[in-house]
Chains A and B, each alone.
Chain A
Amino acid sequence: MERPIISQQVVNGLMLGSIYAMVGVAMTLSIGILRFLNFSIPALFMIGGMLTWALVHIGVSWPLAALAALVADAAVALVVEAFTWRWMRRAGPFIPLVSSMAFLILFEHLAVALFGSDLQTLPRLFGTGVDWRVGHLIVSIPQLAGLLISVAMVAALSLALARTSMGRALRTIAEDSDTALLLGVDIGRIVPLVFLISGVFAALAGILFALNYRQVDPFMGEVLGLKGISAMVVGGMGNVWGAIVGGMIIGLVEVLSIDLFGADFVDITVYGLLLLILVVRPTGLFGGAEMGVRA
């Protein structure tokens, strides 16, 4: 087999990176606004992917399956909020973490109980005709669409954070939730919104992963969640554009290190890079927002 040219690998890395970026954005929103490392986000990613597969498997058309998975994930995100941040805002930073980790275990094993633990494969939904050829490069249109969707969503999100009154309320909560409460910010109404937005990002990432890579399993969220956390750290915690760039970097590092050193060394390079950044420059490559959101 001919060794794929390096520019094709860069394209593949960016495409994979866009999935990491979306999970990273979900993570960074939660950390930036609520100071909450939300471990249920990998579960939301998995639910998005598994539900899309399950519905396509029983004959539902893929756009409908994707939409249903998105709606289901939004509902799950609100359930998670009701059992984590809402109750335990005053109980110290580690407690919501416990519940979100328990949600991860719960949903993973619920998926195993319902669908089994095997790797499931989606049928090929798009023919090779949807590949876009630029010279020697092959760019899959669904993947490109995924990348554009995630960039557009982050653009809309950062505009909303900067310009709208809801964005101002979110930034106030990020600054200090007690002060926000004193200033009349309706925390009880706004915080579910944060869970909802980050849930939608995680769900879309899961759906796009299922449609493009056509493989899902109940534990798919763990690996992607770790890569999403890496994207968040590289970009600076709380920095939504940083998470996008961070996701791309992680995707590139991963694909290129497979190319250069072989598949066994991927995790060493990715997590080595992550540890190095945390030790040398903990605010990330572009500077975080000091635990506040920055658009």
Chain B
Amino acid sequence: MSGYAEGVLVLLAINIVFAYGAFLPIAAGQLNLGVAGFAAIGGYASAYLSTNTAIPVLIAILLGGIAAGVIALAVAAPVLRTRGIYLALATFALGELVRATILNLETVGGAAGYPVAAYIGLPVIGCFAAAVVVLVALLFATRFGIAITAVHDDERVAELMGLDIRGFQIAAFVLGSVIAGIGGGLYAHHFNYIEAQYFNISLSISIVLYVLFGGTQSVLGPLFGATVFTLLPELLRSSAQWRYVLFAAIVIVVMVVRPHGLITGTLIRRLFGDAQDLGLGRRERRA
């Protein structure tokens, strides 16, 4: 495989992991605009562990994800008392705060960036991405997935049915942050270098775009969205700056034609029959 193709595939796998990190809270009706911040926490924490302790790389990456989850829990518990856009804004503030803090943290290189010694290649990263897709799909086939969908579709009814709404929203948010943190760890150990500026609001926005573009009604949506978003700019590479312009225009037009994202519950059912049991085609939201 050429170095270029491998590079694109690594990026694709990492973007898929990031996308599922953003998908879980969105599926529960909450927007995380600080995905990049949680990815940074996971990336830096795992890089610090693998560089300065005897902990093996793979364990360090998982621990980095857990570190991101702990921070997510600390923020989500107070903020989720309120409704609507507040969590989105709080996560946005947290993401920027994490970036600004790392820039001033000399133990991990500050603004100069942080070199990472241990290396993982495409096979490991691909396995992580596949595991994340399979685990999230399995999760959505359980009672947890049904409850998340219920909370997303109608909080009031879900509450009447006796579901602990805040509990499920916090769980989805924290789990998503763990996944984003793992994505950050994969990134750090593949490129052997991380800098805080990479994990900025643009990255968070792009990741959210993968998910909403792909569609939030199916667990396949983020996979599809991340794939299109990673490969399309590569295919359009010939036209230099204009490829982003063209790319954004395509997104805008697609959202007008398919406001629920590319992969909807109806589409899945049309293609695969009634696949609800696999959690593939979650129910359409009020048609």
Query: Which of B94, B248, B260 has the most chain A CB atoms closer than 10 A to its own CB?
Result: B248
Please report the C-alpha to C-alpha distance between residue A205 and residue B8 in the assembled complex, in whole angstroms.
39
| A268 proximity list for chain B (CB < 8 A) | 97, 100-101, 104
Chain A's closest residue to B37 (CB) is A271
Using a CB-CB cutoff of 8 Å, which residues 253-285 of chain B contact chain A?
Answer: 255-256, 259-260, 285
Whether B75 pairs with A279 at a CB distance below 8 angstroms is yes
Please name the residue on chain A nearest to B94 by beta carbon.
A275
Q: List 10 A-B contacts (CB under 8 A).
A: A91-B260, A92-B259, A92-B260, A94-B31, A101-B205, A113-B245, A230-B93, A274-B93, A280-B78, A282-B90
Q: In chain A between 72 and 105, which residues have their CB closer than 8 angstroms to a CB of chain B?
A: 83, 87-88, 91-95, 97-99, 101-105
B84 touches A109 (CB 8 A): no
Pair A279/B78 contact, Cβ less than 8 Å: yes
Determine the distance from Cα of A291 to Cα of B86 in the docked complex, in whole angstroms.
Answer: 11
Q: Which residues of A contact B242 (CB under 8 A)?
A: 109, 113
Question: Which A residues touch B103, using CB under 8 A?
Answer: 264, 267
Given the complex, which residues of B lie within 8 Å of A103, measured CB to CB? 248, 252
Q: Interface with A: B126-134, B172-180, B206-214, which one? A: B206-214
Q: Are B79 and A99 in contact (CB under 8 A)?
A: no
- Interface members, chain A 24-44 (any B CB < 8 Å): 31, 35, 37, 39
Contact of A278 among B89, B252, B255, B260 (CB under 8 A): B89
Q: Which residues of B contact A267 (CB under 8 A)?
A: 96-97, 99-100, 103
Q: Within 8 Å CB of A99, what residues of B? A: 251-252, 255-256
Residues of chain B with a CB closer than 8 A to A109's CB? 241-242, 244-245, 248
Residues of A within 8 A of B78 (CB): 279-280
For B78, the closest partner residue in chain A by CB is A279
B241–A222 touching, CB < 8 Å: no
B5 within 8 A of A: no
Within 8 A of B (CB), among A228-250: 229-230, 233, 237
Q: How many residue pairs at the A-B interface have CB separations less than 8 Å?
A: 129
Contact A102 B209 (CB under 8 A): yes
Residues of A within 8 A of B90 (CB): 275, 278-279, 282
Q: Tell me, in angstroms, the Cα distance from A95 to B26 when the chains sit together.
A: 12
Q: Judge if B82 is at the interface, Cβ distance under 8 Å.
A: yes
0/1 per residue, B71-100, Cβ < 8 Å to A?
000010011001011101110111011011
Q: Is the CB of A83 within 8 A of B260?
A: no
> Residues on A close to B: CB < 8 A?
31, 35, 37, 39, 83, 87-88, 91-95, 97-99, 101-106, 108-110, 112-113, 222, 226, 229-230, 233, 237, 264-268, 271-272, 274-275, 278-280, 282, 291
* Residue of B93, B99, B212, B244 with most chain A CB atoms under a 10 A cut-off: B93
- List chain B residues, Cβ under 8 A from A105: 244, 247-248
Interface centre among B89, B101, B208 (most CB of A within 10 A): B89
Given A37-B88, A98-B251, A278-B90, answer yes or no on A264-B104 (Cβ-Cβ < 8 Å). Answer: yes
A73–B84 alpha-carbon span in the complex (Å) = 29
The docked-state distance in angstroms from the alpha carbon of A91 to that of B255 is 10
Return B67 CB to nearest CB of chain A, in Å.
18
Known: A102-B209, A267-B99. 16 other contacts (CB 8 A): A88-B259, A92-B259, A95-B255, A98-B209, A98-B213, A98-B255, A102-B249, A105-B248, A109-B241, A109-B242, A112-B244, A113-B245, A226-B201, A271-B100, A274-B93, A278-B79
Residues from chain A with a CB closer than 8 A to the CB of B240 are 113
Residues of A within 8 A of B212 (CB): 94-95, 97-98
Q: Is the CB of B97 within 8 A of A272?
A: yes
Closest chain B residue to A237, Cβ basis: B85
- Please give, as numbers and ranges, the residues of chain A lying within 8 Å of B85 by CB-CB distance: 31, 35, 37, 93, 237
On chain A, the residues within 8 Å of B97 by CB distance are 267-268, 271-272, 275
Q: How many whole Å from A282's CB to the nearest CB in chain B? A: 5
Task: Determine how close the nearest CB of chain A comes to the CB of B217; give it in whole angstroms.
Answer: 10
Distance in angstroms between the alpha carbons of A274 and B96 in the assembled complex: 10
Closest 6 A/B residue pairs (Cβ) = A267-B100, A106-B248, A91-B259, A109-B244, A113-B241, A102-B251
Q: Contact between A106 and B86 (Cβ–Cβ < 8 Å)? A: no
Does B142 sit at the interface, judged by CB under 8 A? Answer: no
Residue of chain A at shortest CB distance from B202: A222
Q: What separation, in Å, do the CA atoms of A101 and B205 have in the docked complex? A: 7
Evaluate contact between B82 and A271: CB separation under 8 angstroms: no
Residues of B within 8 A of A95 (CB): 212, 255, 259-260
Complex formed: what's the CA distance from A70 to B84 in Å? 32
The docked-state distance in angstroms from the alpha carbon of A92 to that of B255 is 12
User: Which chain A positions have C-beta within 8 A of B88?
Assistant: 37
B194-233 near A? 1/0 per residue, CB < 8 Å: 0000000110010011001100100000000000000000
